[in-house]
């Protein structure tokens, strides 16, 4: 089973370029933790002070977020972004889950 996750991240005013740069220079151990937790097809998009993320979670969102929270690098990463992301110290690094309303399923798809 795999679940899709869409989330919002609110940035402080004028913190967008630093947010972009931090992800250009993402720590290799952070990337490893993201993959090990079960995130797949993970993407971030940004428009001004709003970042939007999309990821597929295996086996499910709850399990992946629990695994991610167990990594020390996750807590260090969130702490390093405290001046960039509003509520970075909050649950799940300040992510605001966006409920899925609709998903196009192709006739030959196994989804």
* Active-site annotation holder among 23, 75, 83, 103: 23
Q: Does residue 23 carry a catalytic annotation?
A: yes
- Between the two ends of the chain, the Cα-to-Cα distance in Å is 9
CA-CA distance, 11 to 2, in Å (whole number)? 29
Burial class (CB in 10 A: 0-12, 13-18, 19+), 12: middle
Residue with tokens 């250009």: 24
The catalytic site residues sit at 23
């Amino acid at each position: 089973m795999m679940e899709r996750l869409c989330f919002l991240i609110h940035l402080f005013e004028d913190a967008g370029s630093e947010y972009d740069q931090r992800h250009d220079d993402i720590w290799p151990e952070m990337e490893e933790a993201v993959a090990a937790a079960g995130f797949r097809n993970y993407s971030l998009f940004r428009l001004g002070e709003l970042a939007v993320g999309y990821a597929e979670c295996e086996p499910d969102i709850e399990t992946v977020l629990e695994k991610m929270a167990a990594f020390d690098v996750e807590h260090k990463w969130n702490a390093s972004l405290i001046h960039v992301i509003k509520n970075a110290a909050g649950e799940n690094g300040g992510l605001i889950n966006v409920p899925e309303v609709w998903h196009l399923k192709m006739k030959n798809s196994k989804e």
